[in-house]
Every structure is written in structure tokens, then in C-alpha cells.
């Protein structure tokens, strides 16, 4: 085999008393993809950042070998590391909106990399920027180069970020959760693009908690837990015949049609028994809403019953979240109506709207941004309990319902893990005793094991309380696992609806078939399945 582009042996990284990485060894060769998988806090990203000299001044780093393209990098100065970043190693992060400079067009962002490393003559920079945007599949590159990150879709932003990362033809590309929170079709495009770079000879270090994404690209997999590699080997062997209990647990936690009704976080536990759906709690009729002449929602109708979960799927811009905001009464429809327990939002007095709003709550994708960071959990829950007319002393009982204890009451959101924050968000939504909870991408940014715990929790609460869920997600496996019925939306309209199993296993609409074809697949026995494309 060829000489590794990057090679590290017995890597240790500590931050004070915390040992973030312990004894990790890996090598990535040209044209090879090595994947690091594991939960948050497992040491994946710290390992990757060490290869770029980005662990920070407070970190203590040691390794018996750290070589980049044959150079000993163990004693690199900051100046030497700056010459590595971008030229020898490209870095693609998860959130392009945060990674790209919001104050300048994306073309200038890409141009900076070229100028910094003097990759092309000055008079050739603009042409090279347009070539890069074309290379990563950005349409109308001249126009897009002049646009700011907020003017681009999530997929186009991620492509622009990849263009910046590959501008100087780096031999290694590190992709840290590059498709998390992207729509399934956009995710497929990004995976195809990364696959093309790999086939062109670029070494790829992929960091992901999504094992189906890993299966799409990886040649070898390293599974990390608590800073240690607990299992490694060829991708097909690790995914088909995992040896370590932790790896088996990660695979078992993936929501699939076969796992429907089972507890993902504990497959051996008895499945939950669900009562049949009850009376109609939400009735939406012919909803339409436009923004600046663009019809975001057009003719959407559905019913949601007590104890039932209705999934809504579709790409960004399909109208999913606008539909949810209409249901929540946060937007007024241009046409149509929404009724909660038979009472329409339209025509209600402000006081009556506030009373009715208690019955419909929401859980967002990112609870950290939906909480006031100054508030403790105690205050967050106290406000929600006040809305529901319940005593503040019930905060502990709410936490117990979502699997937390009183020890988190005096913590602020930043001191909680992602899974704990989402549990607090669910507790807050439950506080007013709602009839309906709108779940807007509630697990898309969570590790697979934490995702499994949250999905199990939602199922347990539904069985216990009879609450109805309007569940919005781009993750078709999650929707198939949690939903009874599903709406598939495109360009503001419902293109297909019905029983979730029927729609997602035998779709009639061409668009639904396109969505399903774009999903990276692991079969129900956790074996590796690669799409022919």
C-alpha cells in the first residue's frame, strides 16, 4: 500500500485532568476513507483537530508518531501548522453557516484560501474560484460567488465550504459530521461529492455518528468510546459482524422499519403497548401561506388524533416548518383554517388564544437556542408550569418523567449534554399538559444512542399520556419508526399521504421514490448495503 497521507500512533490528548483521547493510532492512505464513529465526547473531533494543530494552547498532546505526508509534525510550530491547514489538509465542518464568514460573499471566502497559500497567480484567483464552485456542483457559479452564506441553501453552503477546503488540492480532507441536519437528497449530493474526491485519490477522514453515512463511504472504521478505540477494522466487517458490545449497541439503536415498536435503547425490553387513536385534536383544512409572492404552503389538509403520530417529510423549502407554524398559531394562513379540539385559531380573542395555546406545545431541533442561556432548568420549567396553572413544585416530577433527576434543576443549558437539554425541552413542553406536541427535527443533531433514548422517551410518554405528535423530520428512518401516518411535502404541497409503512415501502409518487432512493442504507441485520450508484 502507498505511504499514508497522515499517520499517528499512540495519541494522547488531555485538557487538564480530562483525558480526551487515549492511545489512538490511525493512518489514512491516498484514495482511502477512514471513519471515526462514536458518541459526543468519545474523542472523534479532538483526534481530528490534533491532525490540524487545533487542539488549543491548554491541551497536552503526545504521540509516538505524528507524520503528515512523511513530515514529522510532532514538533510543528503554529506557523508550520498554518502552512498545513488548507494546503496539505482540508477541513469541512458540520455547520457551514457558522463556518463561513457571514460578512463576505462565499467567493471571497474561497479566494482567501487561494491567496493565503499562493496557490495560483493573483490574476487567476477569480477564475479558479469559479472552477471550484463548478467542480463541487454549484449552479450559476458567478452569481453564487457574489452571494453571502445566508443567501444560500444548506446544501449550497456546504458545497461552498467543500470548495474552500479543496481549493489548494490537499492530499487529506477531514470531514467532521459534513451531512448532519441536511435533507436526505442534499446529503446524497454531498456524499457523492466526497466519494468523487476519494476516487480522485484524496485521502478522507470522515467523522460521523450516522452509520449509514459511514457505510456509504468508509473503507475502514474506528469506533471510539471515552477517548479509546474499542473496535476497528474493514467497514464491512465492523458493520456486519461487530465484536464490541458498544458497536453492537450503536447499530441496534438505528431506527428502521424492522425496529418499529421496539425500544431502540434496549431492544431486549418488552415493546410498548399503544392504545388506539382517539378523537381528533387537530384539524387543518386547505392551508395556504405565501411570503413575498412565494407560495410556501398550498392546500395542505390533515387530521391528527389523540395518541397518534403524524410524520411530515420533505426537503428544505417543502413547507414542513411553515405548516407547523400555522398549526401552532404562530402564523396566520392566507387561506384555510386550523382547529384545536374543534376550536379554530381564527377569530379568537387574545385571552382565549393564550388559553388554547396551552394545549399545543413544541420541541425544536436545537434546544440550546430555544432556551434563555441565563435561566436555570428550575426557571425554565417554572415558567412552563405557570402557563399550565400547575404548582412549581411539580418540576421534579416533570424531570423524573423524562428520565432526569433534581440534580439538574440549578444547572443552566450550557452545563447540560445534548441529550439532557432535549429531555428538558420535552419536560417544558409537557408542563402545561398539552394535547399535542409539535416535534420539529427533535433528534436530527443527536448521536444515534441519544437519539434512541429520546425516541423511546417520546413513545413512553405517548403511551402514558395519550399525547399526539406532529413529527417533522428529514430522516426517513426516524419517521418510519415513530409515525402512524405520514405526509410527504414538496414545494408547499402534499404529494403523498397515508399509512407510514405503505407510503415508505410502496410509494406511488415519484418524489417519494426519489427521497427513498437518496437514503444511505443499512439493512435490518446491520449489514453493509452500498447503493449501486
Cα 436 to Cα 328: distance, rounded to the nearest angstrom:
10
| CB distance 470 to 304 below 8 Å | yes
Cα 350 to Cα 239: distance, rounded to the nearest angstrom:
55
Q: Average the pLDDT over 193-211 and give the result.
A: 92
Residue 527, pLDDT above cutoff 60: no
Residue 93, pLDDT above cutoff 90: no
Cα 281 to Cα 342: distance, rounded to the nearest angstrom:
7
| CB distance 31 to 198 below 8 Å | yes
Strand 436-440 and strand 468-472: the pairing is parallel
Residue among 218, 156, 225, 223 at smallest CA distance from 185: 156
Residue percentage of the chain with pLDDT more than 90: 67
Instruction: Check residue 1 and give its pLDDT.
Output: 56
Instruction: Check residue 523 and give its pLDDT.
Output: 53
Q: Is 94 helix (H, G, I), strand (E, B) or coil?
A: coil
Give me the torsion for CA of 441, 443, 444, 450, rounded to 10°. 180
Per residue in 103-119, pLDDT (tens digit) is 999 999 999 999 999 88
Mean of the per-residue pLDDT values of the chain:
90
Residue 127, pLDDT above cutoff 60: yes
Residue 357, pLDDT above cutoff 60: yes
Cα 53 to Cα 74: distance, rounded to the nearest angstrom:
9
Sign of the CA dihedral with 50 first, then 53, 55, and 61 last: positive
Instruction: Check residue 204 and give its pLDDT.
Output: 97
Query: pTM (2 decimals)?
Result: 0.85
Per residue in 16-35, pLDDT (tens digit) is 999 999 999 999 999 999 99
pLDDT grade, residue 223 (50/70/90)? very high
Domains in the chain, start-ordered, CATH in brackets? 1-87+172-252 (3.40.50.300), 89-169 (no CATH), 280-359+434-517 (3.40.50.300), 374-430 (no CATH)
| CB distance 303 to 283 below 8 Å | yes
Total residues belonging to the chain: 533
Instruction: Check residue 181 and give its pLDDT.
Output: 66
Q: Average the pLDDT over 379-408 and give the result.
A: 93
pLDDT grade, residue 288 (50/70/90)? very high
For residue 27, CA distances in Å to 75, 112, 226, 378, 468 come to 19, 30, 20, 47, 49
Instruction: Check residue 236 and give its pLDDT.
Output: 92
DSSP symbol at 522: B
Per residue in 419-440, pLDDT (tens digit) is 889 999 999 999 999 999 999 9
Residue 526, pLDDT above cutoff 70: no
* Type and span of the H or E element at 66: strand 65-68
Per residue in 257-282, pLDDT (tens digit) is 777 888 898 888 888 777 788 999 99
Amino acid at each position: 500500500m502507498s505511504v499514508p497521507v497522515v499517520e499517528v500512533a499512540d495519541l494522547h490528548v488531555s485538557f487538564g485532568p480530562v483525558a480526551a483521547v487515549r492511545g489512538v493510532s490511525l493512518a489514512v492512505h491516498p484514495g482511502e476513507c477512514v471513519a471515526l464513529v462514536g458518541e459526543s465526547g468519545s474523542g472523534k473531533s479532538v483526534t481530528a483537530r490534533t491532525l490540524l494543530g487545533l487542539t488549543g494552547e491548554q491541551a497536552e498532546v503526545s504521540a509516538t508518531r505524528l507524520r503528515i505526508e512523511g513530515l514529522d509534525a510532532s514538533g510543528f510550530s503554529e506557523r508550520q501548522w498554518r502552512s498545513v491547514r488548507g494546503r496539505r489538509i482540508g477541513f469541512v465542518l458540520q455547520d457551514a453557516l457558522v463556518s463561513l464568514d457571514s460578512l463576505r460573499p462565499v467567493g471571497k471566502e474561497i479566494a482567501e484560501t487561494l491567496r493565503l497559500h499562493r496557490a495560483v497567480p493573483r490574476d487567476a484567483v477569480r477564475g479558479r474560484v469559479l472552477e471550484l464552485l463548478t467542480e463541487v456542483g454549484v449552479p450559476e457559479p458567478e452569481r453564487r460567488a457574489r452571494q453571502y452564506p445566508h443567501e444560500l441553501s444548506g446544501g449550497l453552503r456546504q458545497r461552498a465550504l467543500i470548495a474552500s477546503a479543496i481549493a489548494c488540492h490537499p492530499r487529506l480532507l477531514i470531514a467532521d459530521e459534513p451531512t448532519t441536519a441536511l435533507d436526505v437528497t442534499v446529503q446524497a449530493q454531498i456524499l457523492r461529492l466526497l466519494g468523487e474526491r476519494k476516487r480522485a485519490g484524496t485521502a478522507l477522514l470522515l467523522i460521523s455518528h450516522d452509520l449509514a453515512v459511514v457505510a456509504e463511504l468508509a473503507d475502514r472504521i474506528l469506533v471510539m468510546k471515552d477517548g479509546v478505540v474499542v473496535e476497528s477494522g474493514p467497514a464491512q466487517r465492523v458493520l456486519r459482524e461487530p465484536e464490541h458490545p458498544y458497536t453492537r449497541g450503536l447499530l441496534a439503536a438505528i431506527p428502521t422499519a424492522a425496529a418499529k415498536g421496539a425500544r431502540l435503547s434496549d431492544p431486549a425490553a418488552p415493546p410498548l403497548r399503544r392504545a388506539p387513536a382517539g378523537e381528533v385534536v387537530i384539524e387543518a383544512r386547505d392551508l395556504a401561506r405565501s411570503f413575498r409572492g412565494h407560495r410556501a404552503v398550498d392546500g395542505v389538509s390533515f387530521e391528527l388524533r389523540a395518541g397518534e403520530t403524524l410524520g411530515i417529510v420533505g426537503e428544505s423549502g417543502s413547507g414542513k416548518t411553515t405548516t407547523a407554524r400555522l398549526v401552532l398559531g404562530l402564523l396566520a394562513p392566507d387561506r384555510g383554517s386550523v382547529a384545536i379540539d374543534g376550536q379554530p385559531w381564527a377569530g379568537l380573542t387574545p385571552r382565549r388564544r393564550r388559553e388554547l395555546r396551552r394545549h399545543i406545545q413544541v420541541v425544536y431541533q436545537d434546544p440550546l437556542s430555544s432556551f434563555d442561556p441565563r435561566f436555570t432548568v428550575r426557571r425554565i420549567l417554572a415558567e412552563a408550569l405557570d402557563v399550565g396553572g400547575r404548582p412549581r413544585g411539580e418540576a421534579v416530577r416533570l424531570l423524573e418523567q423524562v428520565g432526569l433527576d433534581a440534580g439538574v434543576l440549578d444547572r443552566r443549558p450550557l452545563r447540560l449534554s445534548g441529550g439532557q437539554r432535549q429531555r428538558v425541552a420535552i419536560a417544558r413542553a409537557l408542563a402545561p399538559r398539552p394535547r399535542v406536541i409539535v416535534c420539529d427535527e427533535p433528534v436530527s443533531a443527536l448521536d444515534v444512542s441519544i437519539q434512541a433514548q429520546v425516541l423511546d422517551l417520546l413513545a413512553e410518554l405517548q403511551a402514558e399520556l395519550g399525547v399526539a405528535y406532529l413529527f417533522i423530520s428529514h430522516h426517513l428512518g426516524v419517521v418510519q419508526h415513530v409515525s402512524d401516518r405520514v405526509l410527504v411535502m414538496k414545494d408547499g404541497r402534499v404529494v403523498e399521504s397515508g399509512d407510514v409503512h405503505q407510503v415508505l415501502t410502496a410509494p406511488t409518487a415519484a418524489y417519494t421514490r426519489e427521497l427513498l432512493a437518496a437514503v444511505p442504507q443499512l439493512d435490518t441485520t446491520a449489514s453493509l448495503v452500498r447503493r449501486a450508484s
